[in-house]
Amino acid sequence: MNSLKANIRENTTKGELSIIRNNGDVPAIVYGGKEQNQKVSISKKLLKTLIDKQNFLSNIISLEVDGKAQNVLPREVKYHILSDEPTHVDFLRVLPGVKIKINVPVNFINHEKSPGLKRGGVLNIVRRQVELKCPSEKIPENLTLDLDGIDIGESFKISSVKLDSDVVPTIQGRDFVIATLAAPTVMKEPEKPTEAETAEGEEGSEGAEKEATAEGSDKSAADGAKGDKKEGEDKKPAEKKPSEEKK
């Protein structure tokens, strides 16, 4: 259990609250039970350390005020709109037997032992938190779901979670889904041409090639013939002029 030390504050104005924050502390209030609400301040540095840890709002904290420790549950943290620094915290006293509503995170284990994930399946988380109603002293840290042996198409429902008899989900009347193991999404490859289409295409290309070759040969032959004719015409002996008659 985490712990924090708090100091009682007696501020009455916004200016006094600003002084507390400028001194590195965060104003807070403790309420619940038969005792009166208690105004306190806590170290911002220590508070941020706890906030950075997982599930701050669902973990019980031992808060020491003037040397007296009491169990409290963080219920709300307010932040500065620009700096995102914590500016105020509400703590609820944890009293035995008093039931409260709280969001409990869901935790998945044994990912490497899931045959569905090994085959490329996708864990689709529907609810990362489940709201429960339970005694303040029996708040579970998380809801653990085991992926060992889980295959594609299987799902986790609230009935899959082992809960104490005093711990119940606030959603009643249906066995709601927490997560499913879905099939992998595969990109469809372009269709390949069939063998007949391929053969026909090759034959068409071959025929066109032969036709082009034949056409080229005929053209060459015609050009050759023209060349022979021209060459023959060039080589044709000139006609002899009749010799002049003897006078």
- CA 20, 25, 26, 32 torsion-angle sign: negative
pLDDT at 238: 44
Along the chain (247 residues), what's the average pLDDT of each consecutive run of 10 residues?
A: 87 87 93 88 93 83 88 92 93 86 92 93 93 87 92 93 90 93 70 55 49 46 44 44 42
Distance CA 22, CA 51 (A): 20
Q: Phi and psi for 238 in degrees, rounded to 5?
A: -70, 145
* Position 131, amino acid: E
CATH code for the domain defined by 100-182: 2.170.120.20
CATH C-level class of 2-94: mainly beta
Helix (H) or strand (E) holding 229: helix 195-235
Q: Are 89 and 80 in contact (CB under 8 A)?
A: no
Q: What six digits make up the tokens of 200?
A: 């026909």
Domain with CATH 2.40.240.10 in the chain: 2-94
Look at the block and give the residue holding tokens 């400028």.
22
Distance CA 15, CA 40 (A): 16
Q: Are 42 and 89 in contact (CB under 8 A)?
A: yes
Domain with CATH 2.170.120.20 in the chain: 100-182
* Position 175, amino acid: D
Largest CA distance in the chain: 166
Tell me the helices (H) and strands (E) count for the chain, helix number first: 4, 13
